[in-house]
Amino acid sequence: MDISTVTFDKPDDLNVILGQSHFVKTVEDLHEACVNVPGLRFGIAFNEASGPRLVRRSGNDDELVDISTRNAQAIGAGHVFVLALRDGFPINVLNAIKSVPEVCRVFCATANPLEVVVGETEQGRGVLGVIDGSQPAGVETHDDEVERKQMLRRFGYKL
């Protein structure tokens, strides 16, 4: 097996969810999960693993559909889906995504720089994992903890 990494090509402010699913119906079901979040802009791409083996796509924002499609093609692994998000965060849709019956796993949900670790054999390609962001720079201090808690309240995630 050959192992390589694919750098996920995205703007710095874009959130993405990368996962694995098992059926062509994935595109429609992920679209339905996302469209229920008011104001969320999104693009979805899904790599078929059999039959015509097309990159299926959907969304409500052409730029995000394009970003998802380009990255799904670059990853080139069957049954992988890429979801690009704007005007919302993965936390707004992650439970709905994980509840889609076809979804087998979510590799990551991030706005960080992302590399996808891909294994390739004679049969094809598969995602082995992801490298999401950078290594830790230290352990949080008391002041860091206070700032984290304040930030969560500013964002409305905690009272």
pLDDT digits (tens, 9 = 90+) for 112-139: 999 999 999 999 999 999 999 889 999 9
Q: How many CA atoms lie within 13 A of 100 on its CB side?
A: 27
Q: What is the CATH number of the domain that holds 42?
A: 3.40.1520.10
Evaluate if residue 156 carries a pLDDT over 90.
no
Q: Per the domain annotation, does 148 fall within a domain?
A: yes
d(CA 129, CA 131): 7
Strand bridging mode 103-110 / 15-21? antiparallel
Structure tokens at 42: 């999104």
Write out the residue range of the structural domain in which residue 131 sits: 2-154
Q: Per the domain annotation, does 114 fall within a domain?
A: yes
Evaluate if residue 157 carries a pLDDT over 90.
no
Q: Per the domain annotation, does 159 fall within a domain?
A: no
The structural domain count of the chain equals 1
Evaluate if residue 81 carries a pLDDT over 90.
yes
Q: DSSP secondary-structure letter at 113?
A: -
Q: Per the domain annotation, does 28 fall within a domain?
A: yes
